[in-house]
Amino acid sequence: MYRLKPSLRLRQGPAETFWVFDLESGSHFEVNETAFEVLRGLEAAVEPSVLARRVSEEYGIEEAEVMADIEELLATCVEDGLVTKEA
């Protein structure tokens, strides 16, 4: 189970930009819209598999393919300390 670091805030900025802010360290990152949606899903405690199904239905992409992309993104987020993975 993935969890967003509690000190993170997600914001859509001006001109269709997407941002992650860490209220503890003050650091911030721009992310693409897909990553933003995934992180927003985690924030709302939506499981990645549910997100994958939604994206698959909305864009007509294979669910397994979407899930693989989400897993890859989450692995990077775990590495960067934005997300924790719990058993």
CB 26, min distance to another protein, A: 3
The one-letter code for the residue type at 25 is S
Secondary structure letter of residue 82 according to DSSP: S
Residues 11-40 interacting with another protein (rule: CB under 8 A): 11, 13-15, 17, 19, 21-28, 30
CB proximity list for 14: less than 8 A, separation 6 or greater: none
**Hey, how many other C-beta atoms are within 10 angstroms of the C-beta on 25?**
9
Cβ nearer to another protein, comparing 19 with 63 = 19
Which residues of the shown chain bind another protein in the complex (CB under 8 A)? 9, 11, 13-15, 17, 19, 21-28, 30
